[in-house]
Amino acid sequence: IGSSSAETDSQTEWTDVQKKIIPWKNSTPSLDLEMVFQDRAAKLGKSNNSLIVVASLIDKPTNLGGLCRTSEIFGASALVVGNLHYIQDKQFQHLSVSAEQWLPLVEVKPSQLVDYLQQKKMEGYTIIGVEQTAKSFDLTEYCFPEKSLLLLGNEHEGIPANLIHHLDVCVEIPQQGIIRSLNVHVSGALLIWEYTRQQVIKQKQQK
């Protein structure tokens, strides 16, 4: 009895350590998906999130899958990719863990980016590039507008010069190590989180 009691206490102690949500697709197929989305959006405050993450220049499925997962978790309004066929890739799906089912995905090919960025500017978005330039803002000092579009560069070449001319601002992540570059998914995740953190603070101040 003593052993059983100790085991029960141990299980109770660890029950709240880690809880993961099972996707609704597998657990509650009979639910009205529109109601599910509305409920989830209300809980996470997604209705106030106007962040678009543009990953059209990225061509590694692992990076795209990770970005999809990060964008969905922090409530981005959309993830833009160069080709929707990437979501069928097993490496993408392994990293995204079904996030593509809950996050709006938009296909914009690299050759269409200039027109797409100009369109979003007309809609009131600030075009933000994740790039190290002579005029880049330090991420710790930059204040994200509510309507922000985050443009991520290619894994090897960054953001092409012809697209940098269409940016409103460049933001870079302060670094201290010898290696002067981060994986593009990591860079994107850091900026997505900082945008989210700032918006959460704003919402609390308005209440």
pLDDT tens, position by position, 67-96: 999 999 999 999 999 999 999 999 999 999
pLDDT recorded at residue 29:
40
Q: What is the dihedral of CA 65, 68, 74, 76, to 10 degrees?
A: 160
CA dist 26 and 45 (Å) reads 24
Mean pLDDT lowest for which of 59-63, 131-135, 158-162, 165-169? 131-135
Helix axes 184-206, 61-73, angle to 10 degrees: 10
pLDDT value at residue 6: 53
Residue 183 corresponds to which amino acid?
Answer: N
DSSP assigned state of 62: H
- CATH topology classification for 48-206: Alpha/beta knot (3.40.1280)
In three-state secondary structure terms, 34 is: helix
Percentage of the residues of the chain whose pLDDT score is greater than 90: 62
At 23 the pLDDT is 44
> For 36-60, what is each residue's pLDDT tens digit?
444 544 444 444 479 999 999 999 9
* Residue 128 φ/ψ, nearest 5 degrees: -115, 125
pLDDT of 99 reads: 96
Q: Is the pLDDT of residue 15 over 60?
A: no
pLDDT score of 5: 52
Assess contact for 91 and 144: CB atoms under 8 A.
no
Which whole number is the average pLDDT over 118-132? 94
Note the pTM of the prediction, 2 decimals. Answer: 0.77
At 170, the pLDDT band (50, 70, 90 cuts) reads very high
Paired tokens of 108? 């914009």
123 φ, ψ to 5°? -85, 0
List the structure tokens of 111: 């050759």
Instruction: Identify whether the C-beta of residue 121 lies closer than 8 Å to the C-beta of residue 127.
Output: yes
